[in-house]
Amino acid sequence: MRKMVAGMADGIVAVEEIPAEAKAERGKSIKLVDRVFDQLIERIRTGNYAPDSRLPGEHELASMLGVSRPVVRDALGRLREQGMIYSRQGAGTFVSAQVAVAAHLAYSPVKSIADIQRCYEFRLTIEPAAAFFAAQRRDEAAIARISVALAELREATSHQLHRTDADFLFHKAVTEAANNHYYTASMEALRAHIAVGMHLHGLSLMGPRPALEKVYGEHHEIFRAIADGRAEDARDLMHRHLVGSRDRLFEGKVLDLSF
């Protein structure tokens, strides 16, 4: 299909009009690159990929993130342009040494298994309440953010993967929906701490597929309760999910924190 446009010398130049299907495909590809870029930079900033550590190869990243290698390549190119990563010929791609890992805003870093349990204990005091208020105060934008995170979890589950970044994104989106910056600030300050527990919890889910499906189902139920405005259900479902995550990680044997 051709379209006529005016040229710089008042002449007429014929240019190709891009079909709608091609525009949609291009837009989808750009969106995927943005998503992968954000996921990788999040992993770098939270310390999942430490300074001077080697990133997984393009093929492995593509499989982990559920996208094509060209999408991963474009995202890596953007990270390289921003100085976040660098390449060593024949060795691979590495995180730049000058990249700062996200600071712990107010809480001491995780140093022991007991600290992971303490983090769960603290989360149980804020996240169920945040889910309650999220169901009362949610708007379309908030629901959309939670939905995007849920879709990331669904995609990872379909590939039999647990993604810590998508898991955290879901929980943060729920606290943001509560429209209380104290909840959001607490989650942000706990990001690195929560990531440790989520990572270990994810490892405990590896194996039988039903375990991953069950955890995804818990997230989906929380989302539905918030979207439907069922505040008490949202609170109870979040509480049950966090207790379940803790118990799966510790195999039901929580530590005595009296000492």
Residue 174: predicted pLDDT: 96
**Which position has the token pair 């809480």?**
107
Query: Do 126 and 246 reside in the same domain of the chain?
Result: yes
Residue 216: CA count within 13 A, CB half-sphere: 22
CA 172 to chain centre: 9
What is the C-alpha separation between 202 and 16, in angstroms, rounded? 49
Query: Do 66 and 193 reside in the same domain of the chain?
Result: no
pTM over 0.75: no
CA 132 to chain centre: 22
Strand, helix or coil for residue 9:
coil
Query: Do 81 and 182 reside in the same domain of the chain?
Result: no
Query: Do 134 and 227 reside in the same domain of the chain?
Result: yes
Query: Would you say residue 71 lies in a domain?
Result: yes
End-to-end CA distance of the chain: 76
Write out the residue range of the structural domain in which residue 83 sits: 2-95
Give the count of beta carbons closer than 10 Å to the beta carbon of residue 132: 22
Query: Do 43 and 144 reside in the same domain of the chain?
Result: no
Reported as a single tens digit per residue, the pLDDT across 108-166 is 677 788 889 999 999 999 999 999 999 999 999 889 989 999 999 999 888 888 888 88
What is the C-alpha separation between 138 and 148, in angstroms, rounded? 15
Query: Do 39 and 77 reside in the same domain of the chain?
Result: yes
Query: Where residue 33 sits, what CATH number does that domain have?
Result: 1.10.10.10
Query: Do 145 and 217 reside in the same domain of the chain?
Result: yes
Query: Do 196 and 234 reside in the same domain of the chain?
Result: yes
Q: Could you state, in chain order, the average pLDDT of each consecutive group of 10 residues for the chain (259 residues)?
A: 42 43 47 85 76 88 88 91 86 80 56 89 96 95 91 88 87 92 86 84 73 92 98 98 92 79
CA 189 to chain centre: 16
Domain boundary among 36, 63, 95: 95
Write the CB contacts of 71 (distance below 8 Å, at least 6 apart in sequence): 29, 32, 33, 36, 62
Query: Would you say residue 152 lies in a domain?
Result: yes
Residue 100: predicted pLDDT: 54
Q: Tally DSSP H helices, then E strands, for the chain.
A: 10, 4
Query: Would you say residue 107 lies in a domain?
Result: no
173 token code pair: 């989106």
Query: Do 84 and 206 reside in the same domain of the chain?
Result: no
What is the C-alpha separation between 17 and 48, in angstroms, rounded? 44
Query: Do 130 and 86 reside in the same domain of the chain?
Result: no
Query: Would you say residue 108 lies in a domain?
Result: no
Q: Are 38 and 25 in contact (CB under 8 A)?
A: no
Query: Do 123 and 87 reside in the same domain of the chain?
Result: no
What is the C-alpha separation between 56 and 70, in angstroms, rounded? 15
CA distances from 160 to 13, 212, 216, 220, 241 (A): 52, 7, 11, 17, 19
CA 139 to chain centre: 21
Query: Where residue 191 sits, what CATH number does that domain have?
Result: 1.20.120.530
Residue 49: φ, ψ to 5°: -115, 100
Q: Counting every residue, how long is the chain?
A: 259
Query: Do 87 and 117 reside in the same domain of the chain?
Result: no
